[in-house]
Amino acid sequence: MNNPRIAWLLTSAFYYWHPTLSHLAKLFPQMTAFAPNWRGYALGFEDSFAVEVVGKRKIVSLKKVATGYGSSFTFLPLNIVSRLLRFKPDVIFSNSFGVWTILALLFKPVGKWRVVIAYEGSSPSVDYRNSPRRLSIRRAMVRAADACITNSCAGKAYLIDILNAAKNKVFVKPYEVPSAIALSEPCEAIESGKFQLKRPVFLFVGSLIPRKGLHLLMEACALLDKQGYHDYTLLVVGDGLQRQELEEFCDRHALTNCVRWAGRVDYSCLGAYFRQADVFVLPTLEDTWGVVVLEAMVLGKPVLCSQLAGAAEMVIDGENGYRFDPYDVNKLAEIMSQFIRNPSLADSMGHKSQELMTPYSPEAAAQFLAEVTNFVLKD
């Protein structure tokens, strides 16, 4: 089929989606992303793909878990059906197993479209392996879909081994990948030197909530202090309900000279913080993927990544960083001390990160999605 019409149903159209969608729109000019809560285009990708804003979404927490995502339900506008029927797509890519994906599958005979389920990655809270009802619904959705895509090998294993998806209909390759262009905005706050950074600089980026594991990274810093390591900086970018608690921890453990709090920054300015850093650290207790790992890599930084993040698959121990058990703070402190004792280690591993990211550009992600599109249209 020449020039098929493509619809992307994005329950969260955050900026890191935009580079891939921009390049996909070059391959399929008749592509539209449907999204609630639209924040605008990422820097450098303005108006590079069509967007149709579909109301607002609301997330209702059903069960809170401090160390994970917990259980929730996302309310999405039901008028997505009328929008799709008017758009008349040939292929719909729909995020995860939510309401919009269910509607896309239910109205598939009416709209005569193909549906691809995009499952970001596998993690305990979102897999619902202990919920027979949810699993039965998801298995039915997978059977009704024409294909599934996922960023990670763990996501592929879940789709095939748990949801019984046909192996030939599951495709795995990172498609949520960043672009250095979208992270190129200068930021005076970090580049002016006001933070007084001591090298090496370890960078954390994320919400200040228990699931992100920053409290465990702080415990590792407290261990480093006891071992006599004082000449380094932990730069924290982000904000959240846990900030006061974490600042009080720093006060109690004499870490105020080592930790700098940047607060929440615009996505376009995030690259400036990466460029000032030497090592990126993600101590998360649960992340289905973790695009921030790839952002660090594309900007040439070594990554210390929790093994509980889906993107840990992008880290090769001893080459572009290390994977670690976030609960083993002694091991994390030991890894960090290597970069403090040997600052040149960050440069060599950072170069390796950029090298490893070469096959995972937005252009490559768009080509991957084009291949999946052609697969579901071949019949």
Check whether residue 192 and residue 284 sit in a common domain.
yes
pLDDT in the model for residue 61: 82
Give yes or no for residue 304 having a pLDDT over 90.
yes
Which is it for strands 71-75 and 58-63: parallel, antiparallel or unpaired? antiparallel
Res 74: pLDDT: 86
Alpha-carbon distance of 303 to 297, in angstroms, equals 7
Q: Do 326 and 195 belong to one domain?
A: yes
Kindly report the average pLDDT of the chain as a whole number.
95
pLDDT in tens, 184-231: 999 988 887 778 899 999 999 999 999 999 999 999 999 999 999 999
Residue 287 has pLDDT above 80, yes or no: yes
CB 369 within 8 A of CB 148: no
| Structure token pair of residue 257 | 């000279």
pLDDT digits (tens, 9 = 90+) for 308-320: 999 999 999 999 9
Pair (197, 258) in one structural domain: yes
Both structure tokens of 275: 């460029």
Q: Are residues 231 and 108 part of one domain? A: no
> What pLDDT was estimated at residue 244?
97
Q: Are residues 301 and 214 in the same domain?
A: yes
> What pLDDT shows up at residue 165?
98
The answer on 223 and 137 residing in a single domain is no
Block residue for tokens 């920054």:
265
- The reply to whether 1 falls in a domain is no
Whether residue 132 is contained in a domain is answered as: yes
Q: How far is CA 98 from the centre of its chain?
A: 18
Domain co-membership, 55 together with 103: yes
Tens of pLDDT, residue by residue over 19-32, are: 999 999 999 999 99
The angle subtended at Cα 178 by Cα 177 and Cα 179, nearest 5°, is 135
Tell me how crowded residue 105 is: count the other CB atoms within 10 A of its CB.
22
Same domain, 85 and 217: no
Can you give the pLDDT at residue 60?
A: 84
Residue 100 lies in a domain: yes
What pLDDT is recorded for position 139? 98
CATH number of 40's domain: 3.40.50.2000
How do residues 325-367 score in pLDDT, each as one tens digit? Answer: 999 999 999 999 999 999 999 999 999 999 999 999 999 999 9
> Containing domain of residue 317, as a range?
181-359
Number of separate domains in the chain:
2
CA–CA distance, 281 with 200 (Å, rounded to integer): 12
Average pLDDT estimate for 281-286: 98
How confident is the model at residue 65, as a pLDDT?
84
Q: Please check whether residues 229 and 265 belong to one and the same domain.
A: yes
Q: What is the DSSP letter of 326?
A: T
In a domain, 304, yes or no: yes
In this structure, the number of other CB atoms found within 10 A of the CB of residue 359 comes to 11
Counting every residue written for the chain, the total comes to: 379
Task: Tell me the pLDDT tens digit for each residue of 126-165.
Answer: 999 999 999 999 999 999 999 999 999 999 999 999 999 9
Whole-angstrom distance, CA of residue 161 vs CA of residue 155: 10
Considering only CA atoms, give the Rg of the chain: 21
49 and 170 together in one domain: yes
Question: Does residue 124 share a domain with residue 220?
Answer: no
> In which band, very low, low, confident or very high, does the pLDDT at 78 lie, cut at 50, 70 and 90?
very high
Answer whether residue 107 is part of any domain. yes
pLDDT greater than 90 at residue 34: yes
Measured distance CA(311)–CA(146) in Å, rounded:
26
Verify that 77 and 209 share a domain, yes or no. no
In three-state secondary structure terms, 88 is coil
* Residue 178, pLDDT score: 96
* 3-class DSSP assignment, residue 36: coil
In a domain, 198, yes or no: yes
Instruction: Give, in order, the Cα–Cα distances in Å from 68 to each of 12, 146, 287, 288.
Output: 19, 31, 8, 10
DSSP state of 214: H
Read off the pTM: 0.95
Query: Span 68-75, mean pLDDT?
Result: 84
